[in-house]
């Protein structure tokens, strides 16, 4: 055979191979696809050992394994949705992720969605599991305001209507209100915070938690300089707690502002609160341990002492 003949034979052989392969694929693929489509998952198995053992199995790569498991959870969640099945073990996976990487905020933030927004109707235990994970998150990330907000919104508003026992509903609303109150204290650029503060106050007021309501509003007022928050919180304080308490708070806030302007007007309120009240070191030298705090005492070095002194001074 000539070179050209060999070349043509090789080309034709290649073409025939490709055509044969295409024919085989066309013949086999529909059957395979049919078999594949017939197979349906009906149950889930949880593929990981306990959270403690998984921590050991990570061989120290805790964050990497947490990322991997969380990515698996997101894909599985979508697949279960597509198959209209309940994702039974999502809570177990998320608890394992939390054990591996407690500072990983995203799984906590998504926990309520992943547990309670499923293709199959969610059950009360899903709300319990979501609450448990959100509370775990607030413990692990005590200054993550977004997490506190999500936890408060879920526990106070979304979950209670799904709970069977009225007492449990009320307990969750109250717990959620306190969490929202805490979120109010963690000032951020979130412009919705005033509404969360008022909502938390609403819930506390409905639950008859007067002391908690006063504490939440006054702490919110103390840490937020935002005018809108101040206005809303003062109005709420006046409406639900009383004009007298509101006026007392305003007078105390004015006294603090006055002290701030006298002492260190060029620093921020946060810095002032961190430094403490100004004391005359020469005049106040020596121990005053155990001494009773007197009204207007010039030697106070902490704001809690200043607060006590102020209360003693204005006591009727």
Partner 1 sequence: MRPLSPLESVALLSVAGSVLAVAVPTFVKQLHASRLSEPLDGLARLGQRALVLADAKPIKSAFPPSVGLTPAEVPAGHSVEDPEGTWDDPTWRALDFRMDRAHYYAFAFESDNKTQVAHFTARALGDLDGDGLFSTFKLEGEMRAGEAPVVFPLEMDREVE
Least spacing, CB of residue 315 vs partner 1, in Å? 35
Name the residue nearer to partner 1 (CB basis): 25 or 254: 25
- Report, in Å, the least distance between residue 6 CB and partner 1: 13
Indicate the residue among 17 and 262 with the shorter CB distance to partner 1: 17
Q: With respect to partner 1, which residue has the nearer C-beta, 145 or 309?
A: 145
Contacts of 193 (CB under 8 A, 6+ apart): 183, 184, 187, 224, 226, 229
Quote the least distance from Cβ 140 to partner 1, whole Å: 20
Instruction: Please report the sign of the dihedral spanned by the C-alpha atoms of residue 211, residue 213, residue 216, residue 217.
Output: negative
CA dist 73 and 173 (Å) reads: 29
Measured CA to CA, the distance from residue 112 to residue 30 in angstroms comes to 40
Indicate the residue among 78 and 295 with the shorter CB distance to partner 1: 78
Work out how close the CB of 207 gets to partner 1 at its nearest, in angstroms, rounded to a whole number.
12
Q: What crossing angle do the helices spanning 166-185 and 145-153 adopt, rounded to 10°?
A: 160
- Site residues, partner 1 (CB under 8 A): 13, 16-18, 20-22, 24-25, 28-29, 32-33, 36, 71, 74-79, 81-82, 110, 112-114, 117, 119, 121, 150, 153-154, 157-158, 160-161, 173, 180, 190-192, 195-196, 198-199, 202-203
Tokens of 48: 């990981």
Q: How far apart are the first and last CA of the chain?
A: 120
* DSSP string across 155-172: IIIISGGG-S-HHHHHHH
Residue 45 CB, nearest distance to partner 1 (Å)? 18
Compare residues 161 and 208 and give the one whose CB is closer to partner 1: 161
């Amino acid at each position: 055979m000539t070179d050209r003949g060999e070349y043509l034979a090789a080309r034709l052989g290649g073409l025939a191979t490709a055509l044969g392969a295409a024919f085989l694929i066309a013949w086999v693929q529909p059957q395979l696809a049919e078999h594949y489509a017939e197979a349906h998952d009906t149950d889930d198995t949880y593929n990981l050992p306990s959270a403690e053992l998984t921590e050991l199995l990570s061989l120290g790569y805790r964050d990497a394994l947490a990322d991997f498991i969380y990515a698996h959870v997101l894909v599985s969640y979508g697949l279960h949705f597509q198959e209209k099945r309940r994702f039974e073990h999502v809570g177990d996976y998320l608890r394992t992720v939390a054990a591996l990487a407690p500072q990983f905020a995203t799984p906590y933030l998504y926990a309520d969605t992943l547990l309670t927004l499923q293709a199959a109707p969610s059950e009360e235990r899903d709300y319990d599991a979501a609450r448990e994970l959100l509370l775990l998150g607030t413990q692990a990330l005590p200054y993550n305001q977004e997490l506190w907000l999500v936890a408060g919104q879920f526990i106070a508003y979304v979950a209670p209507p799904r709970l069977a026992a009225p007492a449990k509903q009320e307990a969750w609303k109250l717990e959620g209100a306190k969490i929202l109150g805490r979120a109010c204290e963690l000032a951020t650029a979130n412009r919705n915070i005033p509404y969360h503060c008022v909502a938390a106050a609403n819930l506390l007021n409905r639950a008859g938690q007067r002391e908690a309501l006063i504490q939440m509003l006054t702490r919110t007022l103390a840490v937020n300089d935002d005018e809108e928050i101040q206005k809303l919180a003062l109005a709420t304080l006046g409406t639900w707690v009383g004009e007298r308490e509101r006026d007392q708070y305003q007078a105390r806030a004015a006294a603090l502002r006055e002290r701030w302007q006298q002492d260190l007007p060029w620093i921020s309120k946060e810095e002032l609160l961190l430094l403490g009240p100004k004391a005359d070191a020469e005049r106040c030298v020596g121990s005053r341990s155990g001494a009773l705090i007197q009204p207007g005492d010039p030697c106070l070095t902490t704001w809690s002492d200043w607060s006590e002194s102020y209360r003693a001074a204005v006591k009727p």
